Structure 1
Amino acid sequence: MTLAEEFRERNFNIYGQWAGILCIVLCFALGIANIFTTNVLHIIISVICLASSFVLLFIEVPFLLRICPTSSKFDDFIRRFTTSWMRAAIYLVLSGIQWASLAKGACSLIAAAVFLDIAAIFYALAGLKSQEFIRSKTLGGAGVAQMIV
């Protein structure tokens, strides 16, 4: 199945997963970019943003749990996010942390917060519509995901 066919299925889990991939890239880039500021709160939140990019990477690309050496506690933590509702929850929590950066003034971390909210909305819509949780085959879904879970 091609990527275009996956999007035509109108399953919000696929949209959420691809929005999550965009969030990974944004969180990584903005986390690094905002470390070099003089505002202590922005530095702390940018480090959290950078760390969340790696957590999201393991959540959205399940194949990485197989090939990267991780602890069993970390694996158990990541495996909690196999439903649409749990993914929506983690994205909302991470978004809330990024929105907290507004406490000391606006910065580019707002972009990460907005896209984390978008991914959370996609996963919440999938949960509301009771859509079957599927992963994008492009990112290691189907057969690869079954070996991990």
Structure 2
Amino acid sequence: MTIADEFRSRNFSIYGQWAGVLCIVLCFALGIANFFNLGHILLVIFAVLCLASSFIILFIEIPLLLRICPTSPTFDNFIRRFETNYMRAGIYGVMSLIQWLSLTITDSSLIAAAVVLLIAACMYLFAGIKGQQFQSSKTLGGQGVAQMIV
């Protein structure tokens, strides 16, 4: 199945997964960019949380990395909790809420991360509401690709 076929499947979990990939890049870039904002020290804390979110999302959305990277069993069990649409919607919702709370300090570019995280949460929530089974993108290492490595 190609990327175009995956998008044509109308499965919101695929859309959520690709929105998650966008979140990885955006959270990483904005976390680093706002890390050097020395005017508001509390904003630096939110930037660090945004940066940490990018690494958590990286392991959630690209299951192949759990097989390649040496991680602890505790971390692996934490990441494996997010295998359903509702659990992924929940974690993205929490990460989005954290970034929305950064606006209480000052306006910053972290609002972009909050919006995209919210979009990913909504995609997974829609997939859960529609009763769609979670379907992982083959391009990102899901559905058989990880098994081929081992």
- When normalised by structure 2's length, the TM-score is 0.96
1:58-73 equivalent positions in 2, closer than 5 A? 58-73=59-74
Partner of 1:127: 128
Look up the equivalent residue of 1:5 and give its one-letter code.
D
The whole-number CA distance in structure 2 between the counterparts of 1:100 and 1:147 is 42
Partner of 1:111: 112
Extract unaligned runs of 5+ from structure 1: none
Partner of 1:6: 6
Extract unaligned runs of 5+ from structure 2: none
The whole-number CA distance in structure 2 between the counterparts of 1:125 and 1:145 is 26
Partner of 2:16: 16
Higher helix share: 1
Question: SS of the counterpart of 1:139?
Answer: coil
Partner of 1:100: 101
The answer to whether structure 1 residue 143 and structure 2 residue 120 are counterparts is no
Cα drift, residue 144 of structure 1:
2.8
Check whether the contact 2:67–2:146 (CA below 8 A) recurs between aligned residues: no
C-alpha RMSD of matched pairs (Å): 1.3
Partner of 2:29: 29
The whole-number CA distance in structure 2 between the counterparts of 1:145 and 1:84 is 20
**Structure 1 runs of 4+ off > 4 angstroms?**
145-148
Q: Deviations over 1:107-131 (max 9, x none)?
A: 0000000000000000000000010
- When normalised by structure 1's length, the TM-score is 0.96
Look up the equivalent residue of 1:22 and give its one-letter code.
L
Q: Deviations over 1:84-108 (max 9, x none)?
A: 0000000000001000111111100
Instruction: Return closer, same or farther for 1:133/1:145 CA change in 2, 3 Å cut-off.
Output: farther
Cα drift, residue 145 of structure 1:
4.9
The whole-number CA distance in structure 2 between the counterparts of 1:147 and 1:104 is 47
Cα drift, residue 41 of structure 1:
1.3
The whole-number CA distance in structure 2 between the counterparts of 1:72 and 1:29 is 28
The whole-number CA distance in structure 2 between the counterparts of 1:145 and 1:125 is 26
The whole-number CA distance in structure 2 between the counterparts of 1:25 and 1:3 is 19
Instruction: Return closer, same or farther for 1:77/1:142 CA change in 2, 3 Å cut-off.
Output: same
Instruction: Return closer, same or farther for 1:130/1:121 CA change in 2, 3 Å cut-off.
Output: same
Q: Deviations over 1:1-33 (max 9, x none)?
A: 110010000000000000000000000000000
